[in-house]
Amino acid sequence: MYLEWILLGLALLTGSLVLLGKVKNMPEGRSTLVDYGRSLFPVILIVFVLRSFIAEPFQIPSSSMVPTLQVGDYILVNKYTYGIRLPVVRTKVVDLNEPERGDVMVFFPPHMNDTYYIKRVIGLPGDSVELRNGALFLNGIYRPEPYVEEAYRLGDSVQGRNFGPTRVKPGHYFVMGDHRDASSDSRDWGQVDQKLLKGRALLIWYSYEEEPNSHKLSAGGQVRSWGSKFIHFFTKSRFSRCFTLIR
């Protein structure tokens, strides 16, 4: 989220320098600062537009979506599937598609408005959602879930086996992780408002064996982590997962 603000600020700053050069009719070489603005503005603007409206990369930090997504998967998220939103303020300006059952989507959970979560859409507005001994029932009818392994459906957590029934509110979605015993989801913090949707997970573009929550490391830890990736690129990269669609 903070990167959006940074990119927006840089785009405004460099754009202002370009505008200043045009207003004062400055030739190249007259102002180093304006020249930097002219060079950087197109690049920053392209990155900002791509990340805000087309696709954005994310890293999977936890095991809540195992086996579909592993810790260390790097994914691309389609930003326009659920409509075009203004960056930073998140206001939807163009309606396109609505989430469907089974979609893997990125969003802001209701209890953490500055942290991205990724879960699977289970219930749509108006649906009745219930778990009976790990089995999913939608509107009272059993619904198979081929993406959930039995070991993760029937774990040690009672909450992972039984829940509800609960009715999904209008304009909201009920989401759960595929690893039911390792997922904090709608069973814990409630349903996701459609205003908090970020996009649909599209594909895994790279995958590397790493520890959970590596994104929370200190600056020094991040440097060491990327150094480790460079050294162990061929031995710890999971090439078989690269460029696979997320279903």
Which residues are marked as active site?
64, 119
How many Cα atoms within 13 Å fall on the side-chain side of residue 124? 6
Residue appearing with tokens 């990327």 = 226
CA separation for the pair 233, 240 (Å, rounded)? 14
93 burial class (0-12, 13-18, 19+ CB within 10 angstroms)?
exposed
Give me the DSSP letters along 100-148.
-TT-EEEE--TT-TTS-EEEEEEE-TT-EEEEETTEEEETTEEE--TTS
CA separation for the pair 146, 112 (Å, rounded)? 30
What's the alpha-carbon Rg for the chain, to the nearest Å?
21
Asked if 110 and 189 touch (Cβ cutoff 8 Å), the reply is yes
Asked if 235 and 220 touch (Cβ cutoff 8 Å), the reply is no
DSSP tally for the chain: helices H, then strands E: 6, 14
- DSSP class of 27: P
Asked if 58 and 75 touch (Cβ cutoff 8 Å), the reply is yes
- Estimate the crossing angle of helix 32-49 against helix 2-23, to 10 degrees: 140
